[in-house]
Amino acid sequence: MINLLEELRRLNTHIVINTVESGKFARYGVLHKAKFPGLIETSLEAFPVSLPGDGYIRSLDALEIHPEAATLRNEILGQMDGEIGVCWGHNHYMNGLEWHNCTEVTIAASPLVVMLGDLRDMENGRLDSYKVEAFFVEAGQVIEIYSTTMHLAPCEVREGFNCLVILPRGTNYPLDAAAEKHDPALHSRNKWMVAHEENKKMIEYGSPPAIYGPNWEIRPLT
């Protein structure tokens, strides 16, 4: 994996790519030692990295009932319930950032790069993208990011990406249409999201254009 990271860094000299083992990651989350090869295999069977398109499913039945799911909830979630979903695709850009009022666990089924920001760096509801940092996550690694950590879909390293996403059950469900919404960044239940000001698609979708500066790109290996 070191060679893979070195290749990625040579191709992306415009941005520093850290590792989740580095001290810099401590501001954003923790790296768990637990491994879940069965969950990863199931996720890749459902959504291979070479699959065209991209998407996110907040709860996948095959993951929820997998024998390793009980170990995950016991060891990582502190015996709390959590929906186990999957995110996959061919993303190259930061594009925007989201956050939750809880931690989020990500299991990398393939090598990927995550762009992370800190809510405490926002000033007057806006964020300078120069304060966003990139982190390489090896296939098989399990990370947990804090509620103050801003993130979005990972960037692919080669051919595409696949990762499991574990959040408290109910997260990312549609908002109650009858309830008054005071925060324009509130996108769905327990999910706030802001767009990079160049990302017209996310802005049209309703996300405030709150991120300025470079819309960071990770150029994947071929």
pLDDT digits (tens, 9 = 90+) for 139-161: 999 999 999 999 999 999 999 99
How many CA atoms does the CB half-sphere of 60 hold within 13 Å?
24
The pLDDT assigned to 211 comes to: 98
pLDDT band (50, 70, 90) for residue 1? low
pLDDT at res. 184: 93
Give me the DSSP letters along 98-113. Answer: EE-SS-EEEEESS-EE
Domain ranges of the chain: 2-168
Which architecture, in CATH terms, is 2-168? Sandwich (2.60)
What number is the average pLDDT over the span 180-197? 94
Average pLDDT of span 95-115:
98
- State the pLDDT at residue 151: 98
- The partner residues of 191 in beta bridges, in order of sequence, read 188
How much is the mean pLDDT over the chain? Answer: 96
Per the model's pLDDT, the better-predicted residue between 218 and 182 turns out to be 218
In 54-204, which residue ranges form alpha helices assigned H by DSSP? Answer: 61-64, 67-75, 200-204
The confidence band for 2, taking pLDDT boundaries of 50, 70 and 90, is low
Share of the chain above pLDDT 90, in %: 95
pLDDT at 70 over 70: yes
Q: What is the secondary structure of 39-71 as a DSSP string? A: HHHHHHHHS-TT-SS-EEES--HHHHTSHHHHH
Among 54, 10, 16, 11, smallest CA distance to 131 is for 16
Percent of the chain with pLDDT over 70: 99
* 180 against 103, higher pLDDT: 103
pLDDT band at 182 (very low <50, low <70, confident <90, very high): confident
Average pLDDT over residues 124-140: 97
The alpha-carbon radius of gyration of the chain (Å, integer) is 17
Please report which confidence band the pLDDT of residue 33 belongs to, taking 50, 70 and 90 as the band edges.
very high
